Amino acid sequence: MNRSFGALLVVLTAFSPVTWARQGALTKHTYDSGASRAPEQLAVVFEKADLQFKVDPAKKSLSGDAALTFRATAPVSRLVVDFDRNYAIRLVSIDGKPIVKGGYRNPDGRMAIDLPKPLAAGERAVLRIVYAGKPHVADRAPWDGGFVWAKAPTGEPWVASAVQLQGCDLFWPCIDHPMGEPLQVDQHITVPAPLVAAGNGVAMGMEEKDGWRTYHWRTRAPNTYAIALNIGPYEVLEADYMSRYGNIIPLRFWYLKGHQAKARVLFEEFPLMLDFFESYIGPYPFGDEKMGVAETPHLGMEHQSINAYGNEYVKTEFGYDELLQHEFAHEWFGNQLTNVDWDDMWLHEGYGSYMQPLYMEYRYGSQWYYALLHAQRTRIANKFPVVSGSNKPMGGVYDGKVGPGGDIYAKGSLILHTLRNLIGDKDFFAVTRQAVYGTDKPAPGNFKPLYLSTPEYIAIVDKVTGRDYRWFFDVYLYQAALPQLVATRDAKGLALRWKTPADKPFPMPVEVRVDGRDRVVAMKNGQGRVEMPAGAVYTIDPHSKVLRDLPYMDEFKADKAAREKAAADKAKKAAKK
């Protein structure tokens, strides 16, 4: 498999989760990440998760000890966490007092624990769950969530977790919802010596005893699926980066033994990417922790301050590692700005995808910017709206058979490109900073991770620009089909009309080039006209500013799909002979 991010996007466009029934070990609730939170989960603040993990690669087993601190915001009589029911529960306690077996239950992967005494608003309780078992194994990480048990090229165990698509509850008790972030997570990861466990946040030390090492890590407000285990015979590259905002950011890359030469080349990209994001978007959100990357036996994932990297050091024809850059983008769009619901996932993936053409613009200029945008344009499916406006579990978004699938990447990117051209660079990047940081003047220390929904994003656009752009998002996000621009030439010129689903308003301005001269057509009420003499040569949208329906693009994709299917059928027949 081509392990580039372009290939990842293509796979996600056709992504169809393995049905939960075929998983056997997982309930539907555990397999479908992001279900609506239980009332008890809505009534608490998840203040801290203190997680002890002992990972035994020889047995492919995990022993866990999770101490979870919750503060009630309303009276609650029980605590509810999401957790894979297939672990053997060895102890459940509240504030150090054991709960008898009948005092907790976990029939479907949502575990309810009766409190000995109800909590009043403002009161805290520490829920401790001690457990052990074999974590769910990912068939196709990262597209299928779970653990990956592998061997490094030098023969040592190489283990990673990748749980975005099925959730944190695959290996620790949590609130498996985008808004279920703990304010702080401490990890204590025990592995066989001399293996290394690279973790989220700040290193708090390592201890070795009786052939086992325990690594201690601390991070703040991590995305729920961002807590990750990365275990292997790692060596580490270290450097410090002087931010344009005056703070020093630690750079760390945990790579496999024997990969040092290639790792050093990739490590040289870290400062370039940091400078790009800090100059175009704003301060690196986790500069007080680190910019961390760990080499993994799966393709990649945006694990806060310890991004998973498995792209095998492949650079594209554009001269950079696109997977590393995409996953790093999620430190801003995913880990700093977190979607309120899976239905808002385009805010992660659309922005993350748009950062790639922007990065090319930053490094090489407009030619590569448009080249990457065009590559993304060929992948848009337009089968489902990017945003439905209702609560969605993971499968309802990433599965291209029932939801937008890869369109949250490619179409999201082209929508942002169009918005940038519509409102201008100044307002576009002001909107982006407001969405990411909650302020247009971010600086280290004056912001914290935040949640954002699609309606809230639209409200930011309207506030920054001072205009109502709901028509723009109503057509691009909430409708599956792209707007069509109908052009009719007559003896005196060119009549233009936008055609949208249900004839929704769409006063999108359009540029038209007539005999080498560009004109802006205002398109009031979705219609406009350009006067021009007979025989004049014209080009609509000569600078490719507007995402719109292009019949030739649909023809190209249909022909390509048919040829690929024919080639696959031919290969199958040949294999049977």
**Tens digit of pLDDT for each residue in 254-300?**
999 999 999 999 999 999 999 999 999 999 999 999 999 999 999 99
Q: Name the band, by pLDDT with cuts 50, 70 and 90, for residue 101.
A: confident
Ramachandran region of residue 576, left (φ > 0), alpha (ψ -120 to 50) or beta?
alpha
Beta strands in 193-270 (DSSP E): 196-198, 202-209, 212-220, 230-232, 234-242, 248-256
Identify the band that residue 19 occupies on the pLDDT scale cut at 50, 70 and 90.
Answer: very low
Is the pLDDT score of 577 beyond 80? no
Instruction: Give yes or no for a contact between 186 and 216, defined as CB atoms under 8 angstroms apart.
Output: yes
> Between helices 454-465 and 410-423, what is the axis angle to 10°?
20
Q: What is the pLDDT of residue 11?
A: 38
What is the C-alpha separation between 486 and 552, in angstroms, rounded? Answer: 14
Over residues 223-234, the mean pLDDT reads 96
Nearest to 76 by CA among 110, 106, 120: 120
pLDDT of residue 1: 33
The average pLDDT across 142-158 equals: 96
Question: Residue 105: its pLDDT value, please?
Answer: 96
* pLDDT score at 17: 40
pLDDT band at 14 (very low <50, low <70, confident <90, very high): very low
Contact 90, 130 (CB under 8 A): yes
Summarised one tens digit per residue, pLDDT across range 382-397 is: 999 999 999 988 889 9
Which pLDDT band holds residue 572 (cuts at 50, 70, 90)?
confident
Count CB atoms within 10 A of the CB of residue 3. Answer: 16
CATH number of 337-476: 1.10.390.10
pLDDT band at 556 (very low <50, low <70, confident <90, very high): confident
Annotated domain spans of the chain: 337-476, 484-545, 547-577
pLDDT number for residue 554: 86
Q: For position 543, what pLDDT does the model report? A: 96
* Higher-pLDDT residue of 35, 232: 232
Q: What is the mean pLDDT of the chain?
A: 94
pLDDT range class, residue 4, cuts 50, 70, 90: very low
Q: Are 284 and 275 in contact (CB under 8 A)?
A: no
pLDDT for the residue numbered 68: 98
Q: Give me the pLDDT at residue 573, please.
A: 86
Mean pLDDT of 195-199: 98
Give the pLDDT score at 16: 39
**Mean pLDDT value of segment 20-30:** 67
| pLDDT-based confidence at residue 20 (cuts at 50, 70, 90) | very low
Band (pLDDT 50/70/90 cuts) for residue 575 is: confident
User: Could you tell me which of 352, 38, 367, 314 has the C-alpha nearest to residue 164?
Assistant: 352
**The predicted structure's pLDDT at residue 21:** 36
Structure tokens at 363: 């490094």
Q: Cis omega (within 30 of 0) on the bond before 142?
A: yes
Q: What is the pLDDT of residue 159?
A: 98
Tell me the one-letter amino acid at 418.
T
Q: Give 142's pLDDT tier (boundaries 50, 70, 90).
A: very high
